[in-house]
Chain A
Amino acid sequence: MKNNILIEINNLTKIYLKGREPALDELNLDIYNGEIFGLLGPNGAGKTTTISILCNLISSTDGYCKINGYQVQKDFKHIKHFIGVVSQDIALYQLLTAYENLFYFGSMYDLPRKELKENIDYFLEKMGLFKVKNEKIKHFSSGMKRRVNLIAGILHKPWLVFLDEPTVGIDVQSRMVIIDYLKELNLKGVTLMYSSHMLDEAEKFCTRIAILDYGKLLAIGTPAELIEQYNEHCANLEDVFLNLTGRHVRD
């Protein structure tokens, strides 16, 4: 597996404002092909910053990261073609219908028109949204919006997907649909990098987890390994998380 590194993060540091604490502090991580890699941590731990740097949305202050051998800041134009990004925000046009949103974002990948339409219909059907495909996004519930948001990130069938809290703020049913489909994707060989606050979900879903706090890597391993490592005090991942990050409230 170690020969199969897909994402290589090396001494990655991000300082948003000079004089402030770093959002990422010399982070080192390797993520392998075919993994469902979970990035966990309290608010301000550096999860979104890590994903934003990997998606070239912000630049790092120091260090570097590579995806499939391409350096993110230099060769992102090559990376764009095989990654999918599912952001924490509902990154959709509210005045467009679900179909129009997906058609627009799908058009950016040079997929043949017929294939694009088939993909849209397939994913809408899969996510239980086919019947409402011609309704405007602004009329959708949070769960429906999240599902369309997910489809927009995977429509072009990428083999690496970044998911930044993809199930936040939705009901159990919608969450199940999303998680089940992501597992299905992973079974097809798609690597998923996932960040969340939902520890029970992460414990069941992820093949490997990294716990961050204050931009530093605190622990890394499979959920079972992490629980095993803190066996004396911890019965589940949530206990491990609290053990590592403490119980005080974060901003």
Chain B
Amino acid sequence: MDYKHLADQLDINEEEFSELVALFVTITRADLKKIRQGVSNDNSSQAAAAAHSIKGAAANLGFTQMAALAKKMEALANAGSLDNFDAYILEIETRLEALAVT
């Protein structure tokens, strides 16, 4: 992940960007937990709200793939479907952990 490029995009320095990424990881972990809860309780609106949050935050930092995935999850959840959510959650989680160790 090219942090310098992403930081430049936002007109901030790398250090500031790292702080934002750390915050993003924390928030998104919490949101993923909410999505999991939504899936196990069959509460699609809870899952949709949490996916919406991930979508916005990821898009703002330039993490376009994660944002696209969250957008898809939000749309599905809004339509009442939580199918394949375990796989989506895993994919976001994997990307998130990659960010956390960068």
Instruction: State whether these chains interact.
Output: no
List the interface of chain B (C-beta within 8 A of A): none
Q: A-side interface residues toward B, CB under 8 Å? A: none
